[in-house]
């Protein structure tokens, strides 16, 4: 589902100001580079062509173009009046693989995953790509490529689970559930590494995360009633992200005595919640 985005982000640049930051950590707070950052600084800090964040963003943009073509040639148009995001109708997205519970219950389980790569329109894609590029490059460097990809996909699937449970009749697309999952995982990262992060930075980052969640919560409450925002997917991504963060994000001190407990809690909670959601989706919830 679509979502708002808020918060004033930055990142740490290599230099004297970053000497106190422990190995394995990439700062979210911009600590150097002058008063006026360049556009890359502003919209996609730590940008790299050869990374998952870039690749998935390109795939999502291509998939929107494909959806517009499919809508124009097979359904009721590339841009329809009922879609305030600037895109085709729900029938187009249903055809392309949107989350839709009745089809999932018939065995089309790929619909848990495919919505991550689809977006409801130009505005929806633009807002999510801004969010994704503003944080994704940094989180990918922090947590490592494999862990970042796993967190992104697992939380996106978790968002689809919650959307099926709490909004069973909706046709839903978007990566914002996965993006909320990254925020949830970052909260876990902060909890696990709180003692090892610079004093000022950890409080600033915590404030940034809280601001993002509050702004998106308010945006969802005021704009979600028209059916364009899947708040259940956002909430599901956040919850799954919190558990996945304990399982996958890096410990800055690998010898931390609580490390194994964090991992066990993360994987145990993620697995348990996934099983409960799947049982409810296929055995309890009805979309009729």
Which of 57, 127, 172, 176 does the annotation list as catalytic?
176
Whether residue 148 contacts residue 254, with contact meaning beta carbons closer than 8 Å, is answered with: no
The angle formed by the CA atoms of residues 197, 198 and 200, to the nearest 5 degrees, is: 125
CB-based contact 169:225 (threshold 8 Å) = no
The dihedral of CA 266, 113, 142, 254: what is its sign? positive
Query: How far is it, in rounded angstroms, from Cα 118 to Cα 63?
Result: 6
The angle formed by the CA atoms of residues 69, 228 and 54, to the nearest 5 degrees, is 60
Contact 32, 13 (CB under 8 A): yes
Determine whether 234 is an active site residue. Answer: yes
Q: How far apart are CA 51 and CA 74, in angstroms?
A: 34
Count of CB atoms situated within 10 Å of the CB of 154: 22
Tokens of 257: 């005595």
Catalytic residue (choose from 25, 119, 124, 234): 234
Residue in the structure block whose two tokens are 């963003």:
57
Question: Which one, of 73, 53, 230, 199, lies nearest residue 130 by Cα?
Answer: 53
200 is catalytic: no
Catalytic residues: 176, 234
């Amino acid at each position: 589902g679509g979502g708002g985005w808020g918060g004033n982000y930055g990142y740490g640049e290599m230099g004297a100001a970053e000497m106190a930051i422990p190995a394995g950590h990439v700062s979210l707070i911009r600590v150097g580079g002058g008063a006026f950052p360049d556009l890359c600084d502003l919209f996609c800090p730590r940008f790299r062509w050869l990374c998952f964040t870039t690749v998935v963003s390109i795939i999502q943009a291509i998939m929107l173009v494909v959806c517009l073509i499919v809508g124009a040639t097979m359904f009721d148009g590339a841009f329809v009046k009922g879609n305030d995001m600037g895109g085709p109708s729900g029938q187009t997205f249903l055809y392309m693989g949107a989350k839709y519970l009745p089809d999932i219950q018939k065995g089309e389980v790929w619909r848990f995953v495919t919505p991550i790569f689809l977006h409801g329109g130009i505005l929806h894609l633009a807002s999510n790509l801004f969010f994704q590029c503003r944080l994704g490059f940094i989180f990918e460097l922090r947590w490592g490529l494999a862990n970042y990809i796993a967190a992104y996909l697992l939380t996106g699937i978790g968002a689809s689970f919650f959307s099926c449970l709490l909004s069973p009749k909706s046709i839903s697309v978007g990566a914002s559930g996965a993006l909320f999952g990254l925020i949830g995982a970052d909260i876990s990262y902060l909890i696990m590494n709180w003692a090892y992060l610079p004093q000022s930075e950890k409080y600033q980052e915590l404030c940034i995360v809280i601001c993002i969640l509050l702004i998106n919560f308010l945006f969802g409450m005021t704009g979600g009633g028209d059916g364009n925002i899947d708040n259940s997917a956002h909430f599901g991504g956040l919850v799954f992200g919190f558990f996945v963060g304990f399982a996958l994000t890096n410990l800055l001190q690998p010898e931390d005595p609580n490390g194994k407990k964090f991992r066990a809690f993360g994987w145990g909670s993620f697995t348990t919640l996934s099983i409960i959601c799947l049982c409810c989706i296929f055995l309890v919830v009805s979309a009729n």
